[in-house]
Amino acid sequence: MSTPPVRLEGVGKGFVGRDGTFLPVLKGIDMVASSHEFVAIVGASGCGKSTLLRLIAGLDDVSEGTIRVDGRPIAGPGPDRGMVFQQSTLFPWLTVWQNLRFPRALAVNADATSREMWQYLARSHALLDMMGLARVRDSYPNQLSGGMQQRVSIARALVANPAVLLMDEPFGALDAQTREVMHDLILHLFAAEKTTALFVTHDVEEAIYLADRVIVLAPNPGRVDSVHAIPWGRDRTQDLKLDQAFVALKGEILARIRATAAVHADRELMERMTGHGRAPSE
Amino acid sequence: MGSVAAQVHKAQAEDGRRGGRGSPRPRRPRLWRIRAPISRRLSVILAVAGFVLPLALWEAASAAHIVAQLFLPSPADVWASLRHWSHGALGHDTIVSIYRVVAGFALGALIGVPIGLMIGAYRWCAALLQPINDFVRYMPASAFIPLVILWVGIGEGSKIAIIFIGVVFQIVVMVADAVRKVPDSYLEAAYTMGARPGEVMKYVIWRGTWPQIVDILRINMGWAWTYLVVAEMVAADSGLGFAILQAQRFLDTAKIFVGIIVIGLIGLAFDLFFRAMHKRLFPWYRP
Ligand SMILES: Nc1ncnc2c1ncn2[C@@H]1O[C@H](COP(=O)(O)OP(=O)(O)OP(=O)(O)O)[C@@H](O)[C@H]1O
Ligand SMILES: [Mg+2]
């Protein structure tokens, strides 16, 4: 009970550039997400949010540090961590229902008992209903709107009942109205689900509205800048966004992002200017 | 005068445009709008016209005796030659040729598709096989005839082998490219659901490239037919390609025409079959 679903200790990640130099993208990330917690991660573009999520998903390997899920260090991707990407990754050759049932065919679920299988099926149906997908269950993904596709993606990631759901700007490509609907759907969904969620976004309002905690990453290399606890319970409505405290919190977080991003951008600009300034005089 | 006419014309055009926006049917079909759909009727009419027009030109040219009979027989001559041949060996020639093409093609697909999948999926396979495949791919299939005779002999195998050589290397490259175009994100999604590499291969790469593979096979079936005449240069005594070569020796131009046309028709039938299958099997597919 006491082991948190996700624990990151001193996690660092870098890529080897084309010229052979090592470019650090993340450095010294310590982070814990407790059971049933919804954590949003925000930060300037390019600060390593997607990289962080990919590390936790096991799609990339850490350069240093450890990531534990349910107490065990992760080794590669696994069904204990569901992932939703910004672009739909639904398999276009399967219908909505077949996409939901896809994990069922895999060997990891082969030794499921008939009781588990039955639960699995029940879960698929429940998610289909909860996400408002019953009407489109036999449609192919490319017959659906972007919002519908992301609903299916979230349902598919949840159907295996993962310990953690990782979402990388899942609503980044949606229009404002659809996003609002999705937000309320997510709140409703996570009131019922016992999944821990890590949610990457560049929309601070979205982050506050959905999360129990908002983590701001600073860029270059990516590290935790600040952590903001969100004081409201889960039953939130759109009105909350107009609340004084909400607006103040939004301003606070935006200021942090701006501050960290400005340092980064200015440094880059300075380097470029000094570089140019020196060249002609040589 | 001219400018007045031009103005009237311009005004009419503008009227038409204004009227056209709300009206259910535009005054003219917008044939020149890129990718504009056309009606089924028009599409059939145009397809038939595409055959009938050259036929009419051909008839006109031969009726006017612009070209000597020896070089350009009239459609009637060709028809007569077809009737004559069909009383003779045409049926047998056709079946023999279809057998050779299908056998060579099927062998090429059976070997080329798995190798293409391997090259597309595994970098080490690509490193090992891609360079040599690209190297052999540019060699003309006809240049292999002497070797094939030496290795396979002059039996049925040699004709099938030539067609096989003609298509297999193309199938390999095209399938490998199709596999490489499966988005990484599909593979990653499968991995995060707990799929193992073998399962990703089977459920994502294989399933995801099926439509492209059927398309690749369709295209290569066409190429297989183009190798038929080359293949039947090898000590054949029957087949459409053999008949064409034979007709050339006897300056029977009409029969050459018949042979070419029959090959074209069979090719067209195969193409339509593959297209119909594609449509049936992959209703979800948007290129
Ligand atoms: N495979 C890779 N090879 C080299 N550099 C990479 C690779 N993946 C990411 N990076 C670099 O790591 C940095 C962080 O990238 P990442 O995509 O994690 O940022 P992000 O915070 O998700 O940005 P955004 O908000 O734009 O999505 C970027 O500077 C990027 O260029
Ligand atoms: Mg990102």
**HEC letters along chain A:** CCCCCEEEEEEEEEEECCCCCEEEEEEEEEEEECCCCEEEEEECCCCCHHHHHHHHHCCCCCCEEEEEECCEECCCCCCCEEEECCCCCCCCCCCHHHHHHHHHHCHHHCCCCHHHHHHHHHHHHHHHHHCCCHHHCCCCHHHCCHHHHHHHHHHHHHHCCCCEEEEECCCCCCCHHHHHHHHHHHHHHHHHCCCEEEEECCCHHHHHHHCCEEEEEECCCEEEEEEEECCCCCCCCHHHHHCHHHHHHHHHHHHHHHHHHHHHHHHHHHHHHHHHHHHHHC
Q: Can you give the pLDDT at residue B17? A: 46
Quote the pTM value: 0.84
Per DSSP, B52 falls in state H
CA A18 to chain centre: 28
Counting residues of chain A whose pLDDT is more than 90, the rounded percentage is 55
Contact (Cβ atoms closer than 8 angstroms) between residue B233 and residue B241: yes
Contact (Cβ atoms closer than 8 angstroms) between residue A166 and residue A82: yes
In chain A, what are the domain boundaries? Answer: 6-80+162-261
Ligand 1 pocket residue status of A114, Cβ below 6 Å: no
For chain B, the farthest-separated pair of C-alpha atoms sits apart, in whole angstroms, at 80
Instruction: For residues A24 and A138, give the distance between their C-alpha atoms in angstroms, rounded to a whole number.
Output: 45
Which tokens go with B20? 């056209």
Average pLDDT rounded to a whole number, residues B245-250: 92
CATH superfamily, domain B75-281, is MetI-like (1.10.3720.10)
Judge whether residue A2 has pLDDT over 70. Answer: no
A236-245 core/surface letters (b: 16 or more CB in 10 A; e: else): beeeebeeee
Counting from 1 in the atom list of ligand 1, the atom nearest the Cα of A217 is 21
Per-residue pLDDT reduced to its tens digit, B12-23: 444 444 444 445
Q: Which of A7-16, A188-197, B129-138 has the lowest mean pLDDT?
A: A188-197
Q: Cβ–Cβ of B284/A140 closer than 8 Å?
A: yes
**Cα separation of A43 and B169, whole Å?**
49
Cα–Cα distance between B80 and B255 in angstroms, integer? 9
pLDDT score of A58 more than 70: yes
Q: What is the pLDDT of residue A272?
A: 77
Measured distance between the N- and C-terminal CA atoms of chain A, rounded to whole angstroms: 66
pLDDT class for B115, splitting at 50, 70, 90?
A: very high
Q: Where are the domains of chain B?
A: 75-281
B252 membership: H or E segment, kind and range: none
Are B192 and A76 in contact (CB < 8 Å)?
no
Best residue of A50, A86, A91 to probe chain B, by most B CBs closer than 10 Å: A91
- The rounded distance, in Å, linking the Cα atoms of A4 and A37 is 10
Least confident of A175-184, A269-278, B100-109, B274-283: A269-278
Q: What is the pLDDT of residue A269?
A: 75
How many residue pairs from chains A and B have C-beta atoms closer than 8 A? Answer: 77
CATH hierarchy code of domain A6-80+162-261: 3.40.50.300
The reply to whether B184 touches chain A by the CB within 8 Å rule is: no
Taking only the tens place, the pLDDT of each residue in B222-238 is 999 999 888 887 778 89
Average pLDDT over residues A167-193: 89
DSSP B200: I
Residues 6+ apart with CB under 8 A from B44: none
- Interfacial B residues in 187-216 facing A (CB < 8 Å): 188-196, 199, 203-204, 207-208, 210
Identity at B276, one-letter amino acid code? A
Q: With bands split at pLDDT 50, 70 and 90, how would you rate the model's confidence at A280? A: very low
Mean pLDDT confidence for A194-198: 90
pLDDT, residue A188, reads 87
pLDDT of the residue at B19: 43
CB contact under 8 A, B208 and A91: yes
Q: Ligand nearest A25 Cα, by number? A: 1
Q: What per-residue confidence (pLDDT) applies to A154?
A: 92
Residue A56 amino acid letter: I
Q: Which of A13, A51, A199, A257 to mutate to test the pocket of ligand 1 (most atoms within 8 A of CB)?
A: A51
Is A47 in contact with A218 (CB distance < 8 Å)?
A: yes
Q: Are A6 and A198 in contact (CB under 8 A)?
A: yes
Mean pLDDT to the nearest integer, B152-164: 91
| Number of other residues whose CB lies within 10 A of the CB of residue B16 | 14
pLDDT tens for B23-40 read 555 556 578 888 888 899
pLDDT at A9: 93
pLDDT band at B8 (very low <50, low <70, confident <90, very high): very low
| pLDDT tens string A256-268 | 998 887 766 666 7
Indicate which of A93, A156, A198 best probes the interface with B, i.e. most B CBs within 10 Å of its own CB: A93
ipTM: 0.88
